[in-house]
Amino acid sequence: MVYYLVLLVRVIFAPLIFIWPATSVIVSFLLDVVDGDIAPYTVSKERYQIIDKTIDSWVYIFEMIYAWINFEQFKFLLLGLFLWRMLGMILFYITSNRRLFVVFGNYFENVFFVIFFGFTKPPVFYFAVVFVSLIKFFQEWFIHVADLSFREDILKIKRNWKKLP
């Protein structure tokens, strides 16, 4: 039940970016981080991947609209990264191949965060974009290709995912 409450809050907070931008962005991010620890009690790992990617896309849509309105200088960069991620999401829905996310990594949201939190002056902007992109590439590989989990494989705290029905 807690997992579904977290999902509901993520859905509700996405459009609230237009009312409380910082709160919406921070709550959406934090809930995205913790939902994977709550989900195993409710859904299978396979089902979690679909639900998580769908809710993520919902959040990205509102972040993109917000960026289009508020980040004039960066809106086409963010639109390109957003469309790239959405293409990857569509291919994932068609194939269920999580490895696609190495190519179609979520660079959109990471660059959105760089801009949203004000790291927009060169050379800091360029350094931040390269830095978060390298971290994101490694994270996508770690999670979707190596199929590793920081919690389970590094900290040795196992999740007991529900089995598919």
DSSP for 59-73, please give it: HHHHHHHHHHHH-GG
How far is it, in rounded angstroms, from Cα 115 to Cα 119? 6
64, 15 Cβ separation under 8 angstroms = no
Token pair, residue 122, equals 């060169």
Question: Are 34 and 26 contacting, i.e. CB atoms less than 8 angstroms apart?
Answer: no
pLDDT in tens, 36-48: 889 998 999 889 9
What's the pLDDT score for residue 45? Answer: 87
Q: Kindly report the pTM of this predicted structure.
A: 0.92
**CA-wise closest residue to 109 among 143, 138, 86:** 86
Q: In the prediction, which pLDDT does 163 show?
A: 81
3-class state of residue 156 by DSSP: coil
Instruction: State how far the Cα of 62 lies from the Cα of 80, in Å rounded to an integer.
Output: 15
CA atoms within 13 Å, Cβ hemisphere of 86: 12
pLDDT confidence band for 155 (50 / 70 / 90): confident
Work out the number of other CB atoms within 10 angstroms of the CB of residue 65: 15
Helix 107-116 / helix 45-70 crossing angle, nearest 10 deg? 40
Instruction: Please give the pLDDT value at position 165.
Output: 61
Structure confidence by residue, pLDDT tens digits, 107-149: 999 999 999 999 999 999 999 999 999 999 999 999 989 988 8
Helices and strands counted in the chain (H then E): 7, 0
